[in-house]
Amino acid sequence: MARILGFPRTPKRRGVWMASLIGLLTLVAAFSLAGCQAGEKYPAKPILFVVPYAPGGGSDIIIRIFDKIATETKAMPQPFVIENKAGGSGVVGKSYAKEKPADGYTLVTADDSTSFTYLAGQTPWEYDDFTFIANIDRDYNMIVVKADSPYKTLKDLIAAAKAKPKEIKMGGTGVGQVDNVHTALVEKATGAKFTYVSFDSGGQVVTNVLGGQVDCAMANPSEAYEQMRAGKVRALGISSPERQAFTDPIFKDIPTWKESGVDVVVAQWRGIAGPPKMKKEHVDWLIDMTKKVVETPQWKSEYLDKFMQVKTFVAGDDFKKEVQQEVATYKPIFQELGLYKPRQ
């Protein structure tokens, strides 16, 4: 009988032949699978998005709205899987995300707390160890007083804090956090001296302004808005580079700090980052996708206008440079406050 396809006649040779054939087919299959995976269009599966804070806070809200709009507009072909991992002022969740593979399938909220916790020596990593995708939000601070306060302008308040050092109490949230640092920047720029009083939340801060426990306070527009509308709180100035109208005319006449003689422009910010050493093609795709989302009318109406935030888009290396500049600006403030702790 003729041999078919060179199939060996003896059992021993047939066994060797079959083993070789199976090995060859396995190798071919492996290379084929690898080739398919290498050629897959990114993203080929859902992306994990780590929010390093509890649900319901500002950093959680922005990502959930971002996810909703990215899905609805089809800017993102795969869903985000949002995982809240709170603790250590964001350090726990950021550390968790940083150790994930740099394969483009893990992202994490980046914010100014990255700089603060690093300067306070609370992080097991350098502040710029991450891959910076895009900064998509700025939230400016206002200095507010009770409606019947004797301080009618920010100049009045600064003059009083210079004439009576440490007598005027400034409310804020968290020693070593944004309100404390912004107060110190105002002091450094003007020579004024406040007594900083820390509370657990922005709501508590405004309540204590109304109750007279503090003379003034740092507050974001969204934190003070309802009391401003009710005529119980007045804003003396905002830390933005220009006046902000938002969606209510109540804001349009609030001067900037710079207009009032305080040469300081600062903001809280929120953005998107990933583990270190992500591939450029993945970063470029994510930057493009993010820009598409923040340019939509939905982003303006559902996030910016609703929460009184300022439109921002700074991507890639420019974003990283902003963070580096922030750390350089805040480092001497942390040193003066006695809060700076370099990593060992």
d(CA 182, CA 243): 18
Long-range Cβ contacts of 297-301 (<8 Å, 24+ apart): 298/69, 298/72, 298/73, 299/65, 299/66, 299/69
3-class secondary structure, 312: strand
d(CA 95, CA 85): 10
Question: Per-residue confidence at 135, pLDDT binned at 50, 70, 90?
Answer: very high
Q: What is the pLDDT of residue 342?
A: 87
Beta bridge mates, 139: 268
**Parallel, antiparallel or unpaired: strands 267-274 and 131-140:** antiparallel
Average pLDDT over residues 143-172: 97
Amino acid at 236: L
pLDDT for 304-328, tens place per residue? 999 999 999 999 999 999 999 999 9
- Mean residue pLDDT of the chain comes to 90
Mind listing the domains of the chain with CATH numbers? Answer: 47-139+268-337 (3.40.190.150), 156-263 (3.40.190.10)
Say if residue 23's pLDDT is above 70: no
d(CA 92, CA 88): 6
192: left (phi over 0), alpha (psi -120 to 50) or beta: beta
Beta bridge mates, 50: 83, 108
Average pLDDT over residues 183-211: 95
Beta bridge mates, 256: 238
% of the chain exceeding 90 in pLDDT? 82
Average pLDDT over residues 267-279: 97
pLDDT for 44-69, tens place per residue? 999 999 999 999 889 999 999 999 99
Say if residue 21's pLDDT is above 50: no
| pTM score | 0.84
Helices (H), the chain: 11-38, 58-72, 91-98, 113-119, 154-163, 178-190, 202-210, 221-229, 280-294, 297-299, 305-307, 316-337
d(CA 175, CA 183): 11
d(CA 313, CA 303): 14
Other C-beta atoms closer than 10 Å to the C-beta of 191 total 10
